[in-house]
Chains A and B, each alone.
Chain A
């Protein structure tokens, strides 16, 4: 089985994002990591490869700025290699910060097509920084294969996969033909942390460079402003009488309760 995992460096979710006046965030002091969805996608891909056995491989793909961002993109590829992937492909991009999702999807599609046949391509359901939710579905369209989004479970049997996805209030089970693109939800795999031996091995694995003629941006961010202050808390009443309304709001609005 040949599996691609597309990953992107994103700020640590614990980082305080500073809007620096321009069209991109102030990177000073921000720690970049492998996003939580990307890391689950990688873990699942590696588990599938191990189950499939000989001749199978997992390839990590990332695009990044060769001046500033390349080392971050390269580091995220290494993160996936340290989880156990076999090799990486880095797509250099001089103006990575201004890339729109379609351009990124085109670059990833070109890099993957350049590799020939494949069985599965994973992306995260979203990048936790710009939250566009776009690259996975666009990539599937460009590759001419089906896309299943928000996947929480996946089993491969020959040339089809049984896929579980989280839909509103229910879990859908689908049968999908391979090759296909999967966008990963958190529950797709348990979180793995790399073993130290794999970190050392990762340094010796191959990361190829794939050059891509980037198209002019189809859209670009022109301005960033801080998010509005969160609305003040709501007092729904006092004492036991308020409980039913509180439970209703938690269930229906906050969706924090599922019973």
Chain B
């Protein structure tokens, strides 16, 4: 049985349904048994390998696209339940959560939202079971924070399309069976479901990452990739479509990083309680307590934001700027918490026998992807003032 203790300072558990609590517990136990107790996540992180059975295991558990309806093999779970699942996965490792976010929020969501009935019936149940893995290609080598400038093109060819271009930093790229590729057509930005075995498609892995080491990140190269008419997501149109997907994934990150903070805080609290220096436990020193209190406060505030955001989402009242607020605040908090936790573990804090350094390294990606802190600041600034300042 894991020793891990979650934080619930403001008795937020009282605001969760029994069902939400039971689902959180199930994912927590899954992560303990499959990745923490046997140190599997530490080994994957050290070796820089992706747990190949993860898609199928997450599919069996039920965390892939769980908020979509059960007629497509999903659960119809609440957004808060989904958030709690992401929290628990990221308590294990941001790489586990990233896989689930990409599969569910970035790939199943657009098929559900912009796809034809036939596409939904064909792809969603297999994706929910983890039998079919997908990736989401929006970012390009020269277009990150400003994806609207994308250069990837889709040109009509008979009743199908020919795609050319490249995508960069694509989670799951090298292991995916299909890629949701965003490309410019003559009229607009559209989404395409591209089989990764199509001639002209390749996904070389990006090596040398010091972050999200247990997650696959790839480049996507599309050279005259021909797809049939069934590849187009018929209801996609404009930059708004991929941004809607990002809103879903960012929502999951708002919760996910709480898991990272909980893992780090739990470890730091235990460590400083049992390590003695100057004949006293570290946690008895005021300067150490200050750090613990700062970590705990950031974590607790992040929880309050996430739960309110989740309820708004379930009530259909969540706006993209609410998500920007949560992503911006909670990722910054998680980065701060990881840094303080690392300090508190002294030299042990740089070694992978403890979790904190892994979380500290992971959070750098999570802080950057799905809109950097600056981009969400600009989004909130635009909401408050009515002046979009993205272009200076």
Q: Is the interface of B mostly helix, strand, loop or mixed?
A: helix
Contact indicator A82/B75 (Cβ below 8 Å): no
Contact indicator B19/A191 (Cβ below 8 Å): no
**A251→B3 CA distance, assembly (Å):** 28
Q: Determine which residue in A78, A82, A194, A202 has the highest number of CB atoms from chain B within 10 A of its CB, and name it.
A: A194
Interface set, chain B 72-124, CB cutoff 8 A to A: 75-77, 85
Contact indicator A193/B29 (Cβ below 8 Å): yes
A205 within 8 A of B: no
CB within 8 Å for A196 and B23 given contacts A75-B18, A78-B18, A191-B33: yes
CB-CB under 8 A from B33, the residues of chain A are 191, 193
CB within 8 Å for A200 and B75 given contacts A13-B1, A195-B62: yes
Contact indicator B61/A82 (Cβ below 8 Å): no
CB-CB under 8 A from B22, the residues of chain A are 78-79, 82, 194, 199, 202
Q: From residue A202, how far is it (CB to closest CB) to chain B in Å? A: 8
CB-CB under 8 A from A78, the residues of chain B are 18, 22
Q: From residue A219, how far is it (CB to closest CB) to chain B in Å? A: 31
Residue of B nearest to A197 (CB): B62
A24 within 8 A of B: no
Q: Determine which residue in B18, B30, B63 has the highest number of CB atoms from chain A within 10 A of its CB, and name it.
A: B18
Contact indicator B18/A196 (Cβ below 8 Å): no
Contact indicator B62/A193 (Cβ below 8 Å): no
Partner of B63, one of A12, A193, A196, A203: A196
Contact indicator A196/B1 (Cβ below 8 Å): no
B66 within 8 A of A: yes
Q: Determine which residue in B22, B63, B75 has the highest number of CB atoms from chain A within 10 A of its CB, and name it.
A: B22
CB-CB under 8 A from A200, the residues of chain B are 19, 75-77
Contact indicator A203/B19 (Cβ below 8 Å): yes
Contact indicator B77/A196 (Cβ below 8 Å): yes
**A166→B5 CA distance, assembly (Å):** 33
**A117→B45 CA distance, assembly (Å):** 54
Partner of B26, one of A14, A191, A196: A196
CB within 8 Å for A195 and B19 given contacts A13-B1, A14-B3: no
Residue of A nearest to B34 (CB): A193
Interface residues as binary, A220-250 with B (CB distance below 8 Å gives 1, 0 otherwise): 0000000000000000000000000000000
Contact indicator A195/B77 (Cβ below 8 Å): no
Interface residues as binary, A3-34 with B (CB distance below 8 Å gives 1, 0 otherwise): 00000000011100000000000000000000
Interface residues as binary, A63-102 with B (CB distance below 8 Å gives 1, 0 otherwise): 0000000000001001100100000000000000000000
CB-CB under 8 A from A75, the residues of chain B are 18
**A212→B167 CA distance, assembly (Å):** 67
A-B pairs, 10 with minimum CB distance: A196-B62, A193-B29, A199-B22, A194-B26, A197-B62, A196-B23, A193-B26, A195-B62, A199-B23, A193-B30
Other A-B contacts than A82-B26, A199-B19, A199-B22, 11 sampled, CB-CB below 8 A, are A14-B1, A193-B33, A195-B62, A196-B61, A196-B62, A196-B77, A197-B75, A199-B26, A200-B75, A200-B76, A202-B22
Instruction: List residues of A whose CB falls within 8 A of some B CB.
Output: 12-14, 75, 78-79, 82, 191, 193-197, 199-200, 202-203
Show 26 A/B contacts (Cβ-Cβ < 8 Å), sorted by A.
Answer: A12-B1, A14-B1, A75-B18, A78-B18, A79-B22, A82-B22, A193-B26, A193-B29, A193-B30, A193-B33, A194-B22, A194-B26, A195-B60, A196-B27, A196-B61, A196-B66, A196-B77, A197-B62, A197-B75, A199-B19, A199-B22, A199-B23, A199-B26, A200-B76, A202-B22, A203-B19
